[in-house]
């Protein structure tokens, strides 16, 4: 992973120009590096949004394939990561809105399995319970707020990047994020010290 | 800034997404409001919980699956997918189209290939016989009839592809003339096997024309209607000769003389050119009329008309030119004897 990260990103945190040029030239190895570097993040967004691993993988693959087809037209106005987040976010929202989802809500069990069970068993049990509650709280957020929380608090995008990825006004991003956090705080109240 | 306004700004405050002025105003309110400080703490703790969540990991093999899908398919797989997929839809349509195309091709080929049409006709012999009953040539016992037959044979010697045209021409020929000298078929039959074949032909013709049985059983006393029936048999036999092997043609020529006044014979020579010249001289000397001269795969066929008086001298002259074998000769010769000579080397 590290070697790919060094290739994809330059020291300032932006995309390495040489790497972007290789991608735009259609070099297969460059595309492989892109997938290896961003696979977990793209899949993470899809899983948080769709709450189903199979659907999340399907949408993540589609996101990379669309990126592959559009790489020649990538102008570099946004970071590669923002561009990929934009693609997968829109695919998830489209799928959620279309009602074509094949599987029922099994997401809570899947998300609960993500809880880390390492360390002291009692701590793990308590931590697992907290994380399960948190996953459930995230899953119960409205989709337009959930995507903002996922991109901001789980993926670490800035307000500006979220606005760019979701094609929203900055104020809209701020208000949706605030309301989403308020909902999460209220639902997690009993776990707070 | 009051309590409610401050709560709306706590989220960007924690993210340090406010301007210095906005941040200073909230800081000032938080110093005086314990409720807002408690709310800020709970916000911060909630975000801490969120940040502690382990990020999901893509399943094993995810990269390979993406790369496999992104890799362009070979041209033949793309072609197969475009042509045959989805199978339940395209396969029946393509099968039906193939059947239609093959049918059209078969019809086109049949119409363009005379051999196939000829084979189809031969599968329906009765229909052929019916058409021949309408196209009976004139009796060969008369010189006109013999000339007509010669013309017909000349046409039949043309390539196979022209046969349908020949049949049409024959169909348009003049109706048969009544024979003034009916010939006894039994007297002109050179061999029993040939006679049997002639009977078969006549029976085939009889399925349509229904000749009297006495015509077949008592040839010694033919009725006036028997010559046309015999000619029908001749036409059938000679057409069969044309489609038969060349090796069978000499005997076929002999068979063609059955029931007619034609004298047929085979002249075997060593030097064909010299024999042809000698034959021409002989015919000139005897004042015989040469009706036709044509070459086929077996040799030269010459058809002549010679007077009854000159006929013995002609046969003697032929015996001097080469080995003359008489294949057919009517018992009673007409005044003008039609002859068919086949020169073999």
B72 close to A (CB below 8 A)? no
Among the listed residues A98, A91, A103, the one whose alpha carbon sits nearest the alpha carbon of residue A61: A91
B53 close to A (CB below 8 A)? yes
Q: Do A39 and B56 touch (CB under 8 A)?
A: no
Helix, strand, or coil (residue B38): helix
Do A47 and A40 touch, CB atoms closer than 8 A?
no
Strands B300-307 and B336-344, by their bridges, are antiparallel
Q: Do B57 and A185 touch (CB under 8 A)?
A: no
- Å between A42 CA and nearest CA of chain B: 8
According to DSSP, the residues that pair with A9 across neighbouring strands are A15
pLDDT digits (tens, 9 = 90+) for B199-237: 554 454 444 444 444 443 434 444 444 444 445 445 444
Q: What is the pLDDT of residue B64?
A: 93
How many beta-carbon contacts under 8 Å exist across A and B? 100
Q: Can you tell me the mean pLDDT for B62-83?
A: 82
Strands B323-328 and B300-307, by their bridges, are unpaired
Is the pLDDT reported for residue B6 higher than 70?
A: yes
Interface test with A, best of B5, B10, B11, B73 (most A CBs within 10 A): B11
Spatial distance between the Cα atoms of A106 and A114, rounded to a whole number of angstroms: 13
Residues of B in contact with A60 (CB under 8 A): 58, 62, 66
Residues of B in contact with A135 (CB under 8 A): 53
Which domains, from first to last, does chain B contain?
3-47 (no CATH), 126-244 (no CATH), 263-344 (3.30.70)
Q: How many residues does chain A have?
A: 193
Which domains, from first to last, does chain A contain?
1-101 (1.10.1740.10)
> What DSSP letter does each residue of B152-215 carry, written as one string?
HHHHHTS-GGGHHHHHHHHHTSPPPPPPSSPPPHHHH---HHHHHHHHHHHHHHHHHH---HHH
Residues of A in contact with B50 (CB under 8 A): 134, 149, 153-154, 184
Residues 6+ apart with CB under 8 A from B283: B290, B304, B306, B314
Conformation bin of residue A119: beta by default, left when phi > 0, alpha when psi is -120 to 50:
left
A107 close to B (CB below 8 A)? no
Is the pLDDT reported for residue A126 higher than 80?
A: no
Q: Which of A32, A177, A191 is facing B11, going by the closest CB pair? A: A177
Which residue in B has a C-alpha nearest to residue A29's C-alpha? B67
pLDDT digits (tens, 9 = 90+) for B257-312: 334 558 888 899 888 888 888 988 998 888 888 888 888 777 888 888 888 889 99
pLDDT confidence bin for B72, thresholds 50/70/90 = confident
pTM: 0.48
Interface predicted TM-score (ipTM): 0.82
B63 close to A (CB below 8 A)? yes
pLDDT confidence bin for B169, thresholds 50/70/90 = very low
Residues 6+ apart with CB under 8 A from B110: B116, B117, B120
Is the pLDDT reported for residue A91 higher than 70?
A: yes
Q: Do B12 and A44 touch (CB under 8 A)?
A: no
The position carrying tokens 């899949």 is: A43
Q: What is the pLDDT of residue A2?
A: 36
Spatial distance between the Cα atoms of B279 and B263, rounded to a whole number of angstroms: 16
Is the pLDDT reported for residue B331 higher than 70?
A: yes
Q: What is the pLDDT of residue B178?
A: 41
Strands B263-268 and B336-344, by their bridges, are parallel
């Amino acid at each position: 992973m590290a070697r790919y990260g060094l290739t994809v990103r330059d020291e300032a945190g932006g995309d390495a120009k040489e790497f972007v040029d290789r991608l735009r030239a259609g070099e297969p190895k460059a595309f492989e590096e892109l997938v290896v570097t961003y696979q977990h993040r793209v899949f993470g967004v899809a899983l948080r949004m769709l709450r189903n691993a199979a659907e999340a993988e399907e949408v993540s693959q589609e996101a990379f394939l669309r990126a592959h087809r559009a790489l020649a037209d990538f102008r570099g106005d946004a970071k590669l990561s923002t561009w990929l987040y934009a693609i997968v976010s829109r695919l998830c929202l489209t799928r959620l809105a279309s009602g074509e989802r094949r599987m029922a809500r099994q997401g809570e069990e899947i998300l609960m399995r993500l809880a880390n069970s390492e360390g002291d068993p009692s701590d793990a049990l308590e931590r697992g319970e907290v994380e399960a509650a948190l996953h459930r709280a995230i899953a119960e957020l409205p989709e337009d707020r959930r995507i903002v929380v996922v991109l901001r608090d789980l993926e670490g995008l800035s307000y500006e990047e979220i606005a760019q990825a979701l094609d929203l006004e900055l104020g809209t991003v701020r208000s949706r994020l605030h309301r989403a956090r308020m909902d999460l705080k209220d639902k997690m109240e009993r776990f707070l010290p | 800034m009051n309590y409610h306004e401050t709560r709306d700004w706590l989220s960007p405050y924690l993210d340090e997404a406010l301007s210095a002025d906005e941040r200073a105003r909230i800081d000032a309110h938080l110093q005086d409001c314990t409720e807002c400080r408690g709310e800020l703490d709970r916000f911060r703790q909630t975000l801490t919980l969120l940040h502690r969540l382990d990020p999901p990991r893509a399943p094993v093999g995810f990269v390979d699956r993406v790369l496999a899908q992104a890799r362009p398919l070979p041209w033949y797989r793309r072609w197969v997918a475009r042509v045959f997929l989805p199978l339940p839809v395209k396969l029946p349509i393509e099968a039906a189209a193939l059947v239609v195309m093959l049918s059209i091709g078969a019809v086109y080929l049949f119409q363009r290939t005379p051999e196939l049409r000829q084979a189809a006709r031969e599968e329906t012999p009765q229909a052929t016989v019916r058409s021949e009953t309408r196209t009976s040539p004139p009796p060969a016992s008369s010189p006109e009839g013999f000339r007509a037959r010669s013309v017909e044979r000349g046409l039949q010697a043309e390539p196979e592809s022209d046969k349908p045209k020949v049949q049409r021409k024959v169909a348009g020929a003049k109706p048969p003339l009544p024979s003034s000298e009916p010939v006894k078929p039994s007297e002109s039959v050179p061999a029993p096997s040939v006679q049997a074949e002639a009977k078969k032909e006549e029976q085939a013709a009889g399925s349509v024309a229904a000749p009297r049985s006495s015509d077949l059983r008592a040839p010694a006393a033919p009725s006036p209607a028997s010559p046309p029936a015999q000619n029908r048999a001749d036409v059938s036999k000679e057409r069969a000769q044309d489609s038969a092997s060349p090796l069978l043609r000499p005997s076929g020529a002999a068979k063609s003389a059955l029931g007619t006044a034609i004298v047929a014979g085979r002249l075997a020579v060593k030097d064909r050119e010299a024999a042809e010249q000698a034959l021409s001289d002989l015919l000139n000397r005897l004042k015989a009329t040469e009706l036709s001269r044509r070459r086929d795969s077996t040799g030269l066929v010459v058809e002549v008309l010679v007077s009854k008086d000159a006929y013995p001298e002609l046969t003697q002259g032929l015996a001097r030119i080469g080995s003359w074998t008489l294949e057919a000769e009517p018992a009673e010769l007409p005044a003008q004897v039609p002859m068919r000579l086949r020169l073999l080397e």
